[in-house]
Amino acid sequence: MSLREIYKPGQMGLSIEIFPPKTPEGDDGLRQTLRELAPYQPAFISCTYGAGGSTSKRTIDWCREIQEQYQRPATAHFTCVGSTREELVEWLTTAHRVGVRNIMALRGDPPAGVTDFQPVAGGLRYANDLVALIREHFPEMGIGVGGYPEKHPEAPSLEIDLKNLQRKVAAGADAIFTQLFYDNARFYQFRDACQALGITIPIVPGVMPITEFARIKRITALCGAAIPTALATRLEAAQDDKQAQFEIGVDFAIQQCRDLLAQGVPGLHFYVLNKSQACRKILSALS
């Protein structure tokens, strides 16, 4: 099912994001997670590409397994990092051959220790170039792109970041999936700003339930997302109690999702970090 079909008016598209594990034990754990989440009938399950394209083959392998073993559509992440234009087309051709019909087109992060993204010779520099490449070679594919309610960390300003997003949409994106956030007001402001620029494609909020305060502090420090003071205070007070942190984070996510749904979002995109417990609790509470 294409992204164009998933986000039709009047229906809510649930999606789940996983990453290719690095060990056989991780593979087994992810399979158990997918068995536990598949009954919630996600519209698709997306699989990340790995830093520098390091798991590009594994991404395709997992997308094939998701579709064959769990009977859910798969969306493959795809980045510009480390590949020439010809290599990118070759990867796309392989993904299409195994049945992948939706792509999450992202520029990708520069390698560790490098602050400025530089394409390889013959490669692409921007995500909008990647969207255009997909449209050129596989025009029927559904294409998702990333959006940052609190600005991409590398963007000089939110206005410039929104202009970059506008270029991705103009190149042929079908839906925008946001970076995680914990202040819904930031999302609504972002959505309004997109609409003011004439962006009309679905904007799907990305949700990462907090299950461990130390981990989420590391993640938000990298992506620039703010944790509301009241929530951070509660989590700080429970920093020696992992179960309490989990319960605080899940309860917050339930309330966050209820508010988003009440405000008419077209879907919810869960970053589950290959674990099912928090997502299952949230989805059960929302049902």
Question: Residue 59's closest CA among 49, 70, 74?
Answer: 49
Question: Residue 150's closest CA among 188, 109, 93?
Answer: 188
Q: Rounded distance, CA 24 to CA 9, Å?
A: 41
Mapped onto helix, strand or coil, the DSSP state of residue 197 is coil
Tell me the two tokens of residue 119: 């394409």
Annotated catalytic residues are: 17
Mapped onto helix, strand or coil, the DSSP state of residue 284 is helix
* Contacts of 79 by beta carbon, 8 Å cutoff, 6+ apart: 49, 53, 106, 107, 108, 130
Determine the Cα angle at 40 with ends 38 and 44, to 5°.
Answer: 65
Q: Rounded distance, CA 94 to CA 230, Å?
A: 47
Query: How many other C-beta atoms can be found within 10 angstroms of the C-beta atom of residue 41?
Result: 9
